[in-house]
Structure 1
Amino acid sequence: MEDIKIKLLGEICEFYSGTGFPKKFQGNLEGKYPFYKVGDISKSADENKNFLTKSDNYVDERIVKTLKGKIVPPKTIVFAKIGEALKLNRRMITSTECLIDNNVLGIKPKNDSILAEYIFYFMKFVKLENYSESTTVPSVRKSELEKIKIRVPSIQNQQKIISILENIDKTKKVKLKV
């Protein structure tokens, strides 16, 4: 029997908060970094993708410095953290360095004892509305998400679980196209 560890997300994941994105910087289709907003996550989810590969907004180094933006690394799991969009439970994985809007939160494993894809599938089963504050506009705080418990099996078993869930995803995608 495998020794499965129970960890808190805050112990094993780095959290990335988004950057405010004034309208005057939006709409550029070229630039070094994609700047992902909730709409980009929704579009990719509607296209049955797991990875974010395109954005409606791109920025260059100058704008990143002006906004005091924090670069989010590849293989970060991103999702809406505020509003009705958080109830849709859409998750995506970044495919490149990017920025995320301040309505988005990102998490990434701190080390190689847990795979980003494993966190991605785990987060798809977490209903963020259960962790949201009861205000007129639902929102989740990093401090609440850090307390979520996750079972961490060996890397080999994480890979097996990911493979099974990827196959289920592929089957669903094929059915959706029919």
Structure 2
Amino acid sequence: MKESRQAIAVLTIASSLMIVIASCKSYDATAPSQLPISQAQAEGLLNQAIDLVQANNYDGLCQVVAAAEQNCRIQLEGAVRSKQQPGSDRPKVVGFSVHSEQSGSTAVLRLEGSRADGVAYVSDFAVIRTEGSKLGSLTAPYWVGIKYIGGDQSPSTTSTSSSGN
């Protein structure tokens, strides 16, 4: 039963992520949304997300950090149904990659952490540019274990970070 709920949550989250990616604009190299996203910028958005979650401000997480507020809310609903609550410790950034999309690039931070129940997770915090040069995450609820699948990975920008706090 637990695995069934988790499978439903993963499918809900995966479908909402595909909707976000599919709704992105056409590629225009001169548009602000095409500017590359650095690891420092992605980590800055992650820190914002963590601060909002630690303050129990889930509305703020979806309104300020998420690329699409409704998709964030769907991901949060899936996490609640699966009883996946964020832990009190900040996740550790263990990797960074950039993926090329028709609509621009997606920066992905690979995270490791523990949920409130002590269960360890590995998750991707995927960041895109929305509304010009504003950054937003496709996977704002960083503790639910969503893995980013999409675009071509640029091997020259893949690295591992030891930061996380």
TM-score (normalised: structure 2): 0.31
TM-score (normalised: structure 1): 0.29
Structure ranking higher in strand proportion: 2
Larger CA Rg, structure 1 vs 2? 1
